[in-house]
Amino acid sequence: MKSCKPAGVLIYATCTTEPVENEDVITDFLARRGEVFVIDNPRPYLPRPVGALLDEQGFFHSYPAAFEMDGFF
């Protein structure tokens, strides 16, 4: 991928909570480019309270009903 420097960071973010537009996209991307890209643990880079919004894979999720925030991935 020419738009990301070696050892650079690529962030995928959406304003939806649908897995087909979030986790499924990442799974598909890594199936094709996993030799170049890996999922990094975001916890060291985020404020501690944000950890409650991360799932076991390290993906950030916010939901209107649970956190009184917009839905976001």
| Active-site residue set | 15
Tally helices (H) and strands (E) across the chain.
Answer: 2, 0
In angstroms, the CA 39 to CA 59 distance is 9
Contacts 24+ apart (CB under 8 A), 38-46: 40/9
Are the CB atoms for 60 and 54 separated by under 8 Å? yes
